[in-house]
Chains A and B, each alone.
Chain A
Amino acid sequence: MTTVLNVQQLSKTYGSIRAVDSLSFEVKKGSVFGILGPNGSGKTTTLGMLCSAIHPISGNFEWFGKTPTAETRKNIGILLEKPNFYDYLSAINNLKIVADIRSLSYDLIEPALKMVSLWERRNSKFKTYSLGMKQRLAIASAVMGDPDVLILDEPTNGLDPTGIAEVRDMIRSLAGQGKTIILASHLLDEVQKVCTDLLVMKRGKRIFIGNMDDLSHPEAQLELMSNDNNKMIDLLISYPNVGELKASGNIVVAKLMNDATAEDVNSYLHQNGILLNHLVLRKANLESQVLDLLKDN
């Protein structure tokens, strides 16, 4: 797979704050690359640098294997932070300006506006739009002209549930067409539903990067309770297929290791004279894993 974007040791400081701290990652062609992090974790600053709007203090990045120029950006549909349009111009005039900048035909405006259901309101001034309509216009502007790469920063911001579902379907359908999508969000749910790869950021630092499967291939935990918890704990400590143990009340929580199953643990304990009265297999979901990631660092 070819690399669309390669980021090396990118850093940005604002005064004493390290907004982005030696960030490195790669985005492969055709992936839906999620950047997840709480507000203020440096997502937008990172994207701002990748769009050449913000100057990094150090580090570098390459788009399509080349140092980017203004021409590079014409091939990337970008929605950064919030919709930015001329207040006093209609949707159609705003998109004509975008088309002129990106050397696109005006014929592309109609399908773009229809896609986000704004065609009826094409002649209304931007300032009369609701937040959700503004966001949809920004999405229309980003996807107009069918760019190979899309950068979407909190694309469902301000949208109602229907709008959110539409945007997610759109992202999936674009991904299905082989587009590369970089999606920043503080909403785990959003990232989880559409992304193939994930970068988790906290205070400007990368704290996780990997395939979505790595994360959603969850760690299994067992909840156990028995007629003799103390003996059970001793047995579990010496059992190689069980890792870390935690007690919560009368329940012992054990991390399963080496692809062991609940049956394995049950039969081991049974052979050693322990009778379980509670056995539950719990798989940590992505949310708790990411929360763990964010907590740990």
Chain B
Amino acid sequence: MDRILKIELRKIIHNRVFWFTAGGYIITLLLILFGMRHQIIRINEHLSEGNTGFIPMLPTEIYSFPHVWHNLTYIASYLMIFLSIVMVILVTNEFTYNTMRQNLINGLSRFQLVLSKFIDAVMLSIMATLFIFIFGLISGFATSSSIEFSDIFSKIAYIGAYFLMILGFLTFVMMLAFLIKKPALVLGALLLYNFIIEPILSRWLDESIGNFLPLKSLGMLIEIPDIALFSFFGLKPMFHGISPLYVGISLFYLGAFLGISYLIIKRRDL
């Protein structure tokens, strides 16, 4: 296990695509987060001109404890495509360089081959989650007017939900990459499924079933935060908190993606 971790770290650390994409992820996220706060302040300035009191002011401090955890993770979930690109590259490289076969004949088992890529997914998820956690702490301390310890971590469960959501998503990407092998085709299939196939399916099916489709279920882990800003953009908040049902379903899907990945590699000639 630690050998595999060491091997994967060596591959990731020297991989330029990883650094570019990780950098892109962090910069884009920071731009959105800072930009959003700036926009809210500007919108509020406009609203306050001749405001008769009918239109509520938008909350400026969406990054204050404890709501920061929910708001940040929700916004960051839109940027999973960056992490997907890294994941696709890390898996399809093994086919491009034929190292999947080489590592097998050098002595990894087929299970370890799949495990090594799942470890990549776990590492990427930890890195992304850690970044959000640190950013959340900093912005929380910077923007919360009065900080009580109980407030800071009262919604920290969203960080866990974010981790599970990314890990589930990346495991799905890993499965697609094992299946399709070619990076461009994997990304195409991912976008096609995420933005066309699953939305159509979920419309076509009854909502009670459609919400349990794989990526939709993962998305349901972090629902739209109940803050005026998002209503302003036409997004409607639904429930509050993290639904244990969706945690369970997400874990189930994660296991299924992993199992299917193993079956693909177990049966295939490498």
* B15 interface hit (Cβ, 8 Å): yes
* A interface, over-half SS: loop
Are B10 and A70 neighbours in the complex by a CB distance under 8 Å? no
Are A55 and B267 neighbours in the complex by a CB distance under 8 Å? yes
Q: Which chain A residues border B112 with CB–CB below 8 Å?
A: 70
Q: Mark A74-108, 1 if CB is under 8 A from B, else 0.
A: 10001010101111110001001110111100000
* B263 interface hit (Cβ, 8 Å): no
B35-43, B49-57, B92-100: which lies at the A interface?
Answer: B92-100
* B109 interface hit (Cβ, 8 Å): yes
Are A84 and B99 neighbours in the complex by a CB distance under 8 Å? yes
Task: Kindly state the separation between the CA atoms of A86 and B16 in the bound complex, as whole angstroms.
Answer: 13
Are A78 and B97 neighbours in the complex by a CB distance under 8 Å? no
* A71 interface hit (Cβ, 8 Å): yes
Q: Which chain A residues border B267 with CB–CB below 8 Å?
A: 55
Min distance, Cβ A209 to any Cβ of chain B, angstroms: 24
Which of A53, A85, A86, A89 is in CB contact (< 8 Å) with B104? Answer: A53
B108 to chain A: closest residue by CB: A101
* B46 interface hit (Cβ, 8 Å): no
Q: Mark B5-46, 1 if CB is under 8 A from A, else 0.
A: 011001100111000000000000000000000000000000
Are A88 and B16 neighbours in the complex by a CB distance under 8 Å? yes
Are A101 and B107 neighbours in the complex by a CB distance under 8 Å? yes
Min distance, Cβ A260 to any Cβ of chain B, angstroms: 50
Given A85-B99, A88-B15, A103-B3, verify A73-B10 contact (CB < 8 Å).
no
Number of residues on chain A facing chain B (CB within 8 A) = 29
Which of B14, B15, B98, B107 is in CB contact (< 8 Å) with A102? Answer: B107
Min distance, Cβ A231 to any Cβ of chain B, angstroms: 63
Task: Kindly state the separation between the CA atoms of A141 and B11 in the bound complex, as whole angstroms.
Answer: 17
Are A52 and B105 neighbours in the complex by a CB distance under 8 Å? yes
State which size class the interface on B falls in: 20 to 34
Are A86 and B93 neighbours in the complex by a CB distance under 8 Å? yes
Task: Kindly state the separation between the CA atoms of A89 and B99 in the bound complex, as whole angstroms.
Answer: 12
Task: Kindly state the separation between the CA atoms of A93 and B10 in the bound complex, as whole angstroms.
Answer: 8
Are A84 and B101 neighbours in the complex by a CB distance under 8 Å? yes
Q: Which chain A residues border B109 with CB–CB below 8 Å?
A: 69-70
Min distance, Cβ A77 to any Cβ of chain B, angstroms: 9
Given A48-B269, A88-B16, verify A53-B97 contact (CB < 8 Å).
no
Q: Which chain A residues border B209 with CB–CB below 8 Å?
A: none
Q: Which chain B residues border A84 with CB–CB below 8 Å?
A: 97-99, 101-102
Task: Kindly state the separation between the CA atoms of A115 and B1 in the bound complex, as whole angstroms.
Answer: 31
Q: Which chain A residues border B6 with CB–CB below 8 Å?
A: 100
Min distance, Cβ B103 to any Cβ of chain A, angstroms: 6
Q: Which chain A residues border B93 with CB–CB below 8 Å?
A: 86
Are A93 and B14 neighbours in the complex by a CB distance under 8 Å? yes
Task: Kindly state the separation between the CA atoms of A89 and B104 in the bound complex, as whole angstroms.
Answer: 19
Are B7 and A101 neighbours in the complex by a CB distance under 8 Å? yes
B102 to chain A: closest residue by CB: A84
Are B102 and A89 neighbours in the complex by a CB distance under 8 Å? no
Q: Mark A32-71, 1 if CB is under 8 A from B, else 0.
A: 0000000000000000100111110000000000000111
Task: Kindly state the separation between the CA atoms of A6 and B104 in the bound complex, as whole angstroms.
Answer: 21
Are B7 and A54 neighbours in the complex by a CB distance under 8 Å? no
Are B106 and A73 neighbours in the complex by a CB distance under 8 Å? yes
Are B7 and A97 neighbours in the complex by a CB distance under 8 Å? yes
Min distance, Cβ B221 to any Cβ of chain A, angstroms: 34
Given A78-B106, A88-B15, A89-B14, verify A100-B3 contact (CB < 8 Å).
yes
Q: Mark B176-193, 1 if CB is under 8 A from A, else 0.
A: 000000000000000000
Task: Kindly state the separation between the CA atoms of A51 and B102 in the bound complex, as whole angstroms.
Answer: 10
Are A55 and B269 neighbours in the complex by a CB distance under 8 Å? yes
Min distance, Cβ B100 to any Cβ of chain A, angstroms: 9
Are B269 and A97 neighbours in the complex by a CB distance under 8 Å? no
Min distance, Cβ B14 to any Cβ of chain A, angstroms: 6
Are B14 and A53 neighbours in the complex by a CB distance under 8 Å? no
Min distance, Cβ B265 to any Cβ of chain A, angstroms: 11
* B80 interface hit (Cβ, 8 Å): no
Are A71 and B107 neighbours in the complex by a CB distance under 8 Å? yes
Min distance, Cβ A74 to any Cβ of chain B, angstroms: 4
Are B270 and A89 neighbours in the complex by a CB distance under 8 Å? no
Task: Kindly state the separation between the CA atoms of A73 and B270 in the bound complex, as whole angstroms.
Answer: 15
Task: Kindly state the separation between the CA atoms of A74 and B15 in the bound complex, as whole angstroms.
Answer: 26
Are B99 and A101 neighbours in the complex by a CB distance under 8 Å? no
For the A-B complex with A53-B104, A70-B107, A84-B99 known, give 15 more contacts whose Cβ atoms are closer than 8 Å. Answer: A70-B112, A73-B105, A78-B105, A78-B106, A80-B101, A84-B101, A85-B97, A85-B99, A93-B10, A97-B7, A98-B106, A100-B3, A100-B6, A101-B107, A102-B107
Q: Which residues of B contact A (CB under 8 A)?
A: 3, 6-7, 10-11, 14-16, 93, 97-99, 101-109, 112, 267, 269-270
Q: Can you give 19 A-B contacts (C-beta < 8 A)? A: A52-B104, A53-B101, A53-B104, A53-B269, A54-B270, A55-B269, A70-B112, A73-B106, A84-B99, A85-B102, A86-B11, A86-B97, A86-B99, A87-B97, A88-B14, A88-B15, A89-B11, A101-B7, A103-B107
